[in-house]
């Protein structure tokens, strides 16, 4: 199965928490990881078992406010838990839209692993490039983290997370998979 590797500078995460006064937003690029899936004639072929991993260095998260960032890093305990990690364990179509998929897997944050599933869009930009986008809401208390208090603002425990990921595969990997399947249709137009 071809491995589509995330392009870190084009793969981003946005996190938004709420307070009584205003939202607190942080973002980061640098998502690293991969998704293993077959693309056949511009569509995902889920006959194989798609798999994947992602990781974010939490020190990359920035709100643009040094006070908020420092408190966020302290609460996350970034020295002890330097990454947020995800593992994709299942993927299935979600409804009639060819681009929507229910993704299932685990998220590990602050040393606590929880199972989640949510819908993402996966667009086949070309035979070598996938664009993934989705979001979810998490309660940070599920990961052993109490909502922080920044100055006089208490942060709500639920945070919204959104990702946009660009993943690329090499032409050689696509050709190797096409060769084992006996169909060279997508490999003739793909170059390195």
The residue segments making up the domain with residue 126 are 3-180
User: Which residue reads 């409804």 in tokens?
Assistant: 95
Q: How far is Cα 67 from Cα 56, in angstroms, rounded to an integer?
A: 21
Residue 189 lies in a domain: no
Q: What local confidence, expressed as pLDDT, does residue 182 receive?
A: 56
187 within a domain of the structure (yes/no): no
Q: What is the pLDDT of residue 150?
A: 67
Structure confidence at residue 41 (pLDDT): 85
Q: What is the pLDDT of residue 188?
A: 29
CATH number of the domain encompassing residue 48: 2.40.128.110
Q: Residue 186 falls within a domain, yes or no?
A: no
Inter-residue contact 120 to 127 (CB < 8 Å): no
Distance CA 180, CA 52 (A): 21
Residues contacting 62, CB < 8 A, separation 6+: 26, 27, 28, 69
25 lies in a domain?
yes
pLDDT of residue 151: 67
Rounded distance, CA 10 to CA 7, Å?
5
Q: Is residue 100 part of a domain?
A: yes
The answer to the question of residue 185 being in a domain is no
Domain annotation covers residue 192: no
Please list the pLDDT of the chain residue by residue as tens digits (192 residues).
899 999 999 999 999 988 878 888 999 999 999 999 988 888 898 888 889 999 999 999 999 989 888 888 988 999 999 999 999 999 999 987 789 999 999 999 999 999 999 999 999 999 899 999 999 999 999 999 988 776 677 889 999 999 999 999 988 877 776 666 555 444 323 333
């Amino acid at each position: 199965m071809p491995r589509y590797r995330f392009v870190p500078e084009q793969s981003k995460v946005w996190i938004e928490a709420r307070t009584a006064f205003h939202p607190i937003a942080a973002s980061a690029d640098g998502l690293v990881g991969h998704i293993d899936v077959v693309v056949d004639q511009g569509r995902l072929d889920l006959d194989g078992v798609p798999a994947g991993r992602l990781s974010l260095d939490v020190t990359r998260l920035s709100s643009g406010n040094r006070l908020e960032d420092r408190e966020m890093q302290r609460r996350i305990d970034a020295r002890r838990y330097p990454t947020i990690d995800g593992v994709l364990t299942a993927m299935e179509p979600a409804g009639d839209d060819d681009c929507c998929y229910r993704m299932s897997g685990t998220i590990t944050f602050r040393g606590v692993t929880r199972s989640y599933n949510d819908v993402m869009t996966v667009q086949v930009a070309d035979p070598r490039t996938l664009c993934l986008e989705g979001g979810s809401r998490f309660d940070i208390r599920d990961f052993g983290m109490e909502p922080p208090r920044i100055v006089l603002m208490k942060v709500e425990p639920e945070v919204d997370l959104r990702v946009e990921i660009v993943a690329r595969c090499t032409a050689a990997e696509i050709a190797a998979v096409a060769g084992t399947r006996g169909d060279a249709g997508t490999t003739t137009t793909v170059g390195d």
